[in-house]
Amino acid sequence: MEPTWLDWRDVPSGRKSFLWDEVKKYFQFPHGTEAKAKEYTLKQLGFSYRKWKTELTNKYLKNNLTPFEEYGKITPAQWDEFVRQRTTKEAIQRSAANSALAKTDRHKPHLGPGGYAAKVEQWLKEREDLIAKGLPDPYEGLNERTYLRVKGREVKVPGGEKGFAKPETAEVVKRIKFWAEKEKEGKFVSDREKDCLTRGLGTKEHGGQVRGLSSKKNWKQGFSEDIHKYKKHDRYKQEMRETAKEVFMEEIKTMFTQGKFDIPGLPAVFDGS
């Protein structure tokens, strides 16, 4: 495989078909299952391709090394192009942004190869089975993306039960359930990305991806049921007011903290409450 395709989606279909044909040499599929097997296999190959390119970057490029000894089929021309792609201003900025984003996510998912896509069907079926059997749904009231986000962070705890690896993750889930209950009572109304998940996490949704669904889906795809809310002037004004309020509060807190206000009776530090 050449390392110069920007993304797995850019790999020619002929090359993907060749890889699938190679896989089929070693497996036999029950009647009617080959299409599903192919879909799953190509997803795993895409995951492996991205992981391989990351390895090339971290192990070789960042250490000023070349991969020719270990990966003899990579040509010098391909390596030069790979280095060029990974060292453009845009690529460096994107890498820095992705690293910063990863560091803000303190609640790491436990997904395995394939990410959410490989687990979604299983998790949704688990939920449907509970409902069909009349058993309580521990995540009742959570919309699909919130449910999937929470399921992605479940682990087995002592005793074989499902739980969470970190106490702070369990606390976030508790807050998510709290807001879901408030929504059920009519005391909270979700508004596109401003839903129970965002409330529980306490952080804004990042543009260009949708938490709990896919890092490849944009907001219009992830919040398709709210498509009517895009480009609405009243929503734009609302967001501008909220942003202005946040900036104002930060300025006020800074001024109090730095002692720029000298008004008798006021506290030295303003917490915005």
Are residues 198 and 127 part of one domain? yes
Q: Which of 214, 212, 220 is nearest to 195 (CA)?
A: 212
Query: Which residue range is the domain that position 22 belongs to?
Result: 8-104
pLDDT for the residue 233: 47
Are residues 126 and 75 part of one domain? no
Residues whose CB is less than 8 angstroms from the CB of residue 20 and which lie 6 or more positions away in sequence, other chains included: 38, 41, 42
Are residues 125 and 218 part of one domain? yes
Is residue 148 one of the residues assigned to a domain?
Answer: yes
Is residue 89 one of the residues assigned to a domain?
Answer: yes
Are residues 197 and 144 part of one domain? yes
pLDDT for the residue 266: 37
Are residues 212 and 166 part of one domain? yes
Tens-digit pLDDT string for the chain (273 aa): 899 998 888 999 999 999 999 888 888 888 888 888 888 888 888 888 888 998 999 999 999 999 999 988 999 999 999 999 999 999 888 888 767 666 665 666 666 666 666 788 888 888 888 888 888 888 888 888 888 888 888 888 777 788 887 888 889 889 888 988 888 888 887 766 777 888 888 776 655 555 555 545 444 554 445 444 445 545 545 555 555 555 555 555 555 555 444 434 433 333 333
Residue finishing a domain among 104, 129, 164: 104
pLDDT for the residue 264: 41
Are residues 236 and 220 part of one domain? no
pLDDT for the residue 89: 92
With H, G, I as helix, E, B as strand and everything else as coil, classify residue 64.
Answer: coil
How far is CA 13 from its chain centroid? 27
Are residues 153 and 168 part of one domain? yes
Are residues 87 and 68 part of one domain? yes
Is residue 61 one of the residues assigned to a domain?
Answer: yes
180, burial (CB in 10 Å: exposed 0-12, middle 13-18, buried 19+)? buried
Is residue 2 one of the residues assigned to a domain?
Answer: no
With H, G, I as helix, E, B as strand and everything else as coil, classify residue 213.
Answer: coil
**155, containing H or E segment:** strand 154-156
Are residues 249 and 182 part of one domain? no
pLDDT for the residue 64: 94
pLDDT for the residue 229: 45
Is the pTM value of this prediction over 0.75? no
Is residue 60 one of the residues assigned to a domain?
Answer: yes
**Number of folded domains that form the chain:** 3
Are residues 260 and 170 part of one domain? no
Is residue 143 one of the residues assigned to a domain?
Answer: yes
Residue finishing a domain among 104, 138, 161: 104
pLDDT for the residue 208: 52
Is residue 110 one of the residues assigned to a domain?
Answer: no
Is residue 3 one of the residues assigned to a domain?
Answer: no
Are residues 134 and 65 part of one domain? no
> Do 3 and 78 contact (CB within 8 A), yes or no?
yes
Are residues 40 and 143 part of one domain? no
